[in-house]
Amino acid sequence: MNWLIAILQGALFIALAPLLAGWLKYCKCRLQNRKAPSLLQPYRDLIKLSNKKPVVSDHASWLFITAPYLIFSATALAATVVPLVVVDLPTSASADVIVMVGFFAFARFFLALAGLDIGTAFGGMGSSREMTISSLAEPAMLMAIFTLTMTASTTNLSGAIAHVLNEGLVLRPSFVFALFALILVAVAETGRIPVDNPATHLELTMIHEAMILEYSGRYLALIEWASQLKLMLYGVLIANIFFPWGISETLNPKDLGYGLVAILGKLALLAIFLAIAETLVAKMRLFRVQEYLSFAYLLGLLGMLSHIILEASR
């Protein structure tokens, strides 16, 4: 039963990801006084892309064609270990939060390789920048996550969230720092403004788009879906770790329903915040990103230290 719920929840996660992207776009359009596309537009795009004949460069190797499947599967696996609606997930025992970060690294590794495969300047540029940003973001993210795992003394995400739930509403300085660190990292890792702009195809600024420039058809669909999934994943992480209230602790349908409504509400709210931030803030120069990320790292470190100094029971 548990496993069935876990699989269903993973499928729900994957199915909802484009909706979140649509909602984000809707909020942004409204904030910028534009007419918004339908919330279902991302689904239509994915269907359209997957029904198209993909065009692949002559120079592409098998890696270019395999990479989208690997990227999508790794991101989907990461999604199955994060509690979305219900806390107690058997899948989060088989892969803890460090493994989840490992899945991200796995997807990124192949994405960067795919960028280098054709041998165009854009691909190399995107890969180089992506690896730079992610290698600075990963320690910041782990710092924030370690604060959580040390508080809960488990790296199992289900266990950690259950711990936060049982503690009730306690204001922990370490969690405030960790929350801000994780938000900054999430913005960088999902390629949003001010680090990267998902809507641009301008040579000098693009990162994620530069790597996937050569993809088309179903391959593009997979990669787009994976990045929507990643956005939602970070949203769920932030929502369920720091504000876990509402998530279901049992398997009865009523609680599950409440859990679903709660997470949808939280995500919708987070997306509104993100849309406001994206509208207000301008994109940074590439070499300012290090300062941004080292600030995130510093916040993570402060969170860790305040956990050790202020909170650990000694």
Partner 1 sequence: MILFSAYLAVLLSFASGLLALIIKQRQLLQSLSNYSFNNLFKNQFQQQAWVDKNLEIKHFPAFLRQAVFILLGLSGLFAVIAGLGVLLSNQVITDQIPLGLPWLPWHIRFDCLSGFFFLIIGIGVFAVSLYGPGYVRSYKEEQHPFASLGLFTGLFVAGMLLVLLADDAFMFMIAWELMSVASYFLVAFQHEHAANRRAAFLYLLMAEVGALAIILAFGVLASFADGFTFDALRESKLSVTWSSIAFILALLGFGMKAGIAPIHVWLPEAHPVAPSHISALMSGVMLKVAIYGLIRFCFDLLSEVQWQWGVVLIILGTISALAGILYAMMQPNLKRLLAYSSVENIGIIFMVLGLTMIFMATGHPQLAALGLLAALFHAFNHALFKNLLFLGAGILQHQTHELNIDMMGGLIKKMPQTSLLFLVGCMSISSLPLFNGFVSEWLAFQTALQVDVLDNGVLRSLIPVAAAALALTAALAAACFVKVFGLIFLGQPRSHHSEKAHEVQNKFMLAGPALLAGLCFFVGIFPSTIIHLINNASGQLLGQTLPNNNALSWLWLAPVSAQQASYSPPLVLIAALIAAGICYGYFRRNPLTTVRRAETWDCGFGGLTPRMQYTSSAFTMPFRRIFEKVWIIDEQIHKDMKGAMNQDVSAVHYQLQVHDHSWPHIYAPIAQGVNDLARQVGRIQTGNIRTYLGYSFTTLVLLLWLIS
In the bound state with partner 1, the residue whose beta carbon lies nearer, of 69 and 258, is 69
State yes or no: residue 113 binds partner 1 (CB under 8 A).
Answer: yes
Whether residue 189 contacts residue 25, with contact meaning beta carbons closer than 8 Å, is answered with no
Stretch that binds partner 1, among 96-104, 164-172, 173-181, 251-259 (CB under 8 A): 96-104
| Nearest-5° Cα angle at 99, 67 to 133 | 60
Nearer to partner 1, 182 or 221 (CB): 221
93 vs 281 by CB, closer to partner 1: 93
Six-digit token pair at 263? 């997470």
Binding segment for partner 1 among 134-142, 175-183, 189-197, 260-268 (CB under 8 A)? Answer: 134-142
- Whole-angstrom CA distances from 89 to 105, 163, 182 are 23, 14, 22
- Cβ proximity to partner 1, 123 vs 191, nearer residue: 123
Q: Which residues contact 277 (CB under 8 A, 6 or more apart)?
A: 187, 193
H/E stretch holding 64: helix 62-80
Please give the residues from 38 up to 77 whose contact with partner 1 meets the rule CB under 8 A: 50-59, 61-63, 65, 69-70, 72-74, 76-77
228 is a site residue for partner 1 (CB under 8 A): no
Q: What is the distance between the alpha carbons of residues 121 and 195, in angstroms, rounded to a whole number?
A: 21
Going by C-beta distance under 8 Å and a sequence separation of 6 or more, which residues neighbour residue 22? 37, 38, 39, 40, 41, 42, 43
Q: Which amino acid belongs to residue 251?
A: L
Choose, by CB under 8 A, the member of 21, 28, 156, 267 that binds partner 1. Answer: 156
Q: Is 149 in the site for partner 1 (CB under 8 A)?
A: yes
Taking Cα atoms as reference points, which of 66, 86, 97 lies closest to residue 10?
86
Q: Which is nearer to partner 1, 36 or 116 (CB)?
A: 116
Asked if 8 interacts with partner 1 (CB under 8 A), we say no
Give the interface size with partner 1 as a residue count (CB under 8 A). Answer: 85
- Under the binding rule (CB under 8 A), the answer on residue 218 touching partner 1 is yes
Contact letters (x/-) for partner 1, 279-308, by CB under 8 A? -------xx--x------x--xx--xx--x
CB-nearer residue toward partner 1: 29 or 176: 176
Query: Two tokens at 34?
Result: 């534009």
